Amino acid sequence: MRIPRWTAVIAVVTICVAAAALGTAGSSNAKPTASTTVALVSDIGKFTDHGFNQNQLAGLTRAKAKLGINTISLQSNSASDYSPNFNSAIRKGAKLVIAAGFLLAGTEATYAKQFPNVHFAITDYTVHTSPFSNKKGKVLYNNVEGLTYQANESGCLVGVLAAKMAHKMGGDTIGAVGGVKIPPVDIWIAGYKFCAQKAVPGTKVLIQYSQDFVATDKCKTVATNEISQGAKVLFQVAGGCGLGTLQAADDAGIWGIGVDVDQYKLAKRVLTSGVKRVDNGVFAVAQQEQQGQFKGGTDLNFDLKNGGMGIGKISPSCPPAFIKLMNSYKAKIIAGTLKVPSALK
Amino acid sequence: MRRGGKDGVSDRPDPDAVPETPEEASATGTLAARFALRQRSGGLIVPVLTALVAFLLGGLIVLATGHNPLLAYRDIFNGAGLNWIFHPTTSMVSTASYNLSQTLLQTTTLILTGLAVAFAFRCGMFNIGGQGQYFVGLYVANWVGVSLPHLATFPHIVLGIGAAILAGAVWAGIAGSLKAYVGAHEVITTIMLNWIAIWIGTYFFGDGGPLQNSQNATVPISNDVAASAKLPVFWGIQALQGLDVGFFIALAALVVFWALLNRTTLGYEVRAVGFNPEAAAYGGISVKKNLIRAMAISGAFAGLAGGLDMLGYLYHFATSDIPVSNIGFLGIAVALLGRNTAVGTGIAALLFGALLFGTTHGLSSNVIQPELAGNLTYMIQGLVVLFVGADVLILYVWNTRRRLRVRGVTA
């Protein structure tokens, strides 16, 4: 095929001019940083996941508005983005870098070792385990703070409502659709199962995993499977994937329960949501940093008592007696008279 | 040579069907072969224009969202570290060099996943299984890297890379064999093999899996490979994901690709089958053998990509990282834009590598919110891929028009 020569010339000239313009334009964007700078690095769930990552970003945004700190938010789209995001946060002058979850633990440990003068925090991860501690449990890095959540306590509360609703619907079978069988997921389900069976003895709890935190269709398949086994209420513990669980509950006319954030508006039949205030964790550690009270080498724990855990909006279809019962569980947990297990047996 | 007509290749082709021009040859070959040929006949200008138009449209979309496209592209350019060439200010050189090293890390992988697609294309096959072949290479390299901690550095690296190449070759070879012996279309089988690879990885690194973390068994992440299996880093710091020597291995692979295709009997046979399997069979070339061989070599490139990523900078992998990895699929775009040639693939890989890293890390949160920037990445990539596909269409129209004109003259 023939294309006139001049097109080639134009193309080459355009590229060269564009390259030169891009290279030289505005290279001085270094601003003096007077106040504290806090960075948040997302995991591959990204800041658009309607849950875990997005909620942490909300906490960071709130910290920026209320505390007047500078903030940097960096999104990871794949495993190769973790390290460059930490690097970029430190280069941009972050005094505290918060990692959004266990996927970033390995990379954070590497950077904590490399940059002992920078503070690090990690959501949903304790510093008393590898890679932040050695095999004997000795904490290796004094510049890392863990942010841990007693999700079993919120799981317990939604479990009470789930069991009572299922009983009212004449089913006595409820289900949970987890993402992957890992402790941060199982801690929810452990509380859910424990309190459901305590509130309505004999309740059958189906537990299955979609092996995914992103693809809604996978959770929908697992949810449909549990519904066919008679589940009347489904608790989704799979982040963005779990929207498929809520949809399946809608389609089948049973009840769904959201997770991490208040997901009441994401489907028509959402009973309530187990809320984990990861935004409060981000806010709290940012505030610590600003006030010079960062506590490296320790965990900052969040539970029902300090408002780090909670539940979302409850559907008006839920009888007040059930809510009253749930509140009695809540009071017992806060008072310390009810111990909820944090792992599935 | 005895073969049935299952895959559309008959035993005794009509001697009259021997093509006189590549264009006619393409009309009788497989769809992928015709596609590949049209692509290469387009010359250098079409891919360059394709990329420019895609960037232009991407810019318009950025403009439509109320952001300055020139600022966005400047940020992508600087974010990819390409401003390193200009050394704008001393304070920025270290940032730029780090960014460029990261862009080249992506380029390394893209060169190899691109070659994996390009080699199969030259044999008239569409290898969509680059992602799966990349994964098996990644898994095997992790396994070798983790489980032989007492090996010396050099043999450990060679063993790890060799195993990754072999794994990729076997994985793609399955698709090649299925095509050769039962006529199963490679597009279908490679896609299926991708899913098998994804689920194998989910099992390997998942809870209780054979490659799951032994130090903290509560997370679905593999162990780090042993220090002896890590590739030496020549630019940057190893702990901070510096650029490893895998980059040179990828460059060497470009040369190998070119030499294999253009300077060996194997390459000649592969290309002959790609041009026209019937004519090749008539000339005494075993089509079956070459289909398997070409797929295996394709898979070897993708497996090598996985091996280099694992031993070069990732060191470990998590189940959640598996579904979001799309570097193997990007290889298709790289090969298409690069016209299935060595040089073209190298340049296209650099372009996509820069885009990939630049959009994710260059776009400042002051210009575009990070949650939007992530989508912009995919949008610009999508536009480039779309236009790469569209230029085949343009060429098709162009060639048809010319053929009609020729026919009109002779009639």
Map out the domains of chain B as residue ranges: 16-410
Contact B360 A29 (CB under 8 A): no
CB B1 within 8 A of CB B277: no
Q: What is the mean pLDDT of residues B1-10?
A: 41
Minimal-distance CA residue of chain B relative to A22: B74
pLDDT at B364: 64
Say if residue B400's pLDDT is above 90: no
How does DSSP assign B274-293, residue by residue? HH-HHHHHHTT--HHHHHHH
What is the average pLDDT across A292-307?
Answer: 93
Partners of A235 in the beta sheet? A176, A257
> What's the predicted TM-score (pTM) here?
0.82
Q: Return mean pLDDT, chain A.
A: 88
Report how far residue A92's alpha carbon sits from residue A87's, in angstroms, rounded to the nearest whole number. Answer: 9
Order of strands, edge to edge, in the sheet holding A299-302?
A70-74, A37-41, A96-99, A119-123, A144-149, A299-302
B14 — pLDDT class (breaks 50, 70, 90): very low
CB-side neighbour CA atoms (13 Å) of B317: 33
Percent of chain A whose predicted confidence (pLDDT) is above 90: 73
d(CA B298, CA B173): 9
Positive or negative torsion for Cα A308, A314, A318, A324: positive
Residues of chain B with pLDDT > 70, as a percent, come to 78
| Lowest mean per-residue pLDDT among A17-26, A43-52, B52-61, B178-187 | A17-26
- Provide the pLDDT for residue B6: 41
CB contact under 8 Å between A27 and B88, yes or no, is yes
DSSP symbol at B313: I
pLDDT of residue A332: 95
Q: Is the dihedral of CA B41, B44, B47, B52 positive or negative?
A: negative
Sequence-ordered alpha helix ranges (H) in A121-276: 151-168, 183-199, 216-228, 243-252
* A2, A27, A41, A241, best to mutate vs chain B, most B CBs in 10 Å: A27
What average pLDDT does chain B have?
84
Structural domains in chain A, CATH included, are 37-149 (3.40.50.2300), 151-275+315-335 (3.40.50.2300)
Q: A215 to chain B nearest CA, in Å?
A: 9
Contacts of B371 in chain A (CB under 8 A): 46-48, 54, 57, 75
DSSP string, A83-136: HHHHHHHHHTT-SEEEE-SGGGHHHHHHHHHH-TTSEEEEET--TTSTTTB-TT
State the Cα–Cα distance between residues B400 and B397, nearest whole angstrom.
Answer: 5
pLDDT at B279 over 70: yes
Helix segments in B9-89, DSSP class H: 22-28, 31-40, 45-64, 69-79
**pLDDT of the residue at A282:** 96
Q: Is the pLDDT of residue A7 over 70?
A: no
Instruction: Give me the interface pTM, i.e. the ipTM.
Output: 0.81
Nearest CA in chain B to A238: B320
| C-alpha to C-alpha distance for B334 and B116, rounded to whole angstroms | 10
- Find chain B residues with C-beta within 8 A of A14's C-beta: 52
A216-273 pLDDT per residue, tens: 999 999 999 999 999 999 999 998 889 999 999 999 999 999 998 899 999 999 999 9
Q: At what angle do helices B287-309 and B130-147 cross, to 10 degrees?
A: 50
**For chain A, what is the total number of helices (H) and then of strands (E)?**
10, 12
Least confident of B118-122, B198-202, B322-326: B322-326
DSSP bridge pairs for A206: A175
pLDDT at A60 over 60: yes
- pLDDT (mean) for A75-80: 88
Q: Is A162:A196 a contact under the CB 8 Å cutoff?
A: yes
- Condensed to tens digits (0 to 9), the pLDDT of residues B294-313 reads 999 999 999 999 999 999 99
CB contact under 8 A, B221 and A1: no
Answer yes or no: do A29 and B364 touch at CB < 8 A.
yes
- Residues with Cβ within 8 Å of B285's Cβ and at least 6 positions away in sequence, in order, are B269, B272, B273
- What's the rounded mean pLDDT across residues B275-286? 92
- Taking the C-alpha atoms of residue A249 and residue A247, their distance in angstroms, rounded to an integer, is 5
* Res. A26: pLDDT tops 60: no
Write out chain A residues lying below 8 Å of B360, CB-based.
75, 77, 81, 84
What are the pLDDT digits (tens) for B61-113?
A: 888 878 888 888 888 888 888 888 876 665 556 888 899 999 999 999 999 99
Question: Tell me, what's the pLDDT at B355?
Answer: 86
Verify whether the Cβ–Cβ distance A24 to B357 is below 8 Å.
no
Domain with residues B16-410, CATH architecture:
Orthogonal Bundle (1.10)
With contacts defined as CB-CB under 8 Å, which chain B residues touch A3? Answer: 43, 45-46
Is residue B22 pLDDT above 50, yes or no? no
Q: Which residue of A has its CA nearest to B39?
A: A1
The pLDDT value recorded for residue B129 is 95
What's the pLDDT score for residue B12? 42
Confidence band for A36, pLDDT divided at 50, 70 and 90: very high
Q: Which two tokens stand for residue B272?
A: 């002959």
pLDDT per residue as tens digits for the range B335-384: 988 888 999 999 999 998 998 888 888 776 566 666 666 666 677 677 77
pLDDT digits over A114-165, tens only? 999 999 999 999 999 889 998 888 999 999 999 999 999 999 999 999 999 9
CB pairs A-B closer than 8 Å: 167
Average confidence (pLDDT) over A81-95: 92
Cα dihedral B4, B9, B15, B20, rounded to 10, equals: -170
Tokens describing residue B348: 């296209």
A43 CB neighbours in chain B (<8 A) are 320
Residue contact A23–B218, C-beta within 8 A: no
For range A175-184, the mean pLDDT: 89
Phi, psi of A317 (to 5 degrees): -75, -10
Kindly list the residues from chain B whose CB atom is less than 8 angstroms away from the CB atom of residue A91.
94-95, 98
pLDDT of residue B223 exceeding 60, the answer is yes
| pLDDT for the residue A112 | 95
- Residue A257's φ and ψ, nearest 5 degrees, are -125, 130
Q: Do B82 and A83 touch (CB under 8 A)?
A: no
The order of strands in the sheet holding A270-276 is: A204-209, A173-178, A233-237, A255-260, A270-276, A309-311
pLDDT grade for B392, boundaries at 50, 70 and 90:
low
For the segment B172-192, the average pLDDT, to the nearest whole number, is 95
**Chain B neighbors of A180, CB-CB under 8 A:** 206-207, 220, 319-320
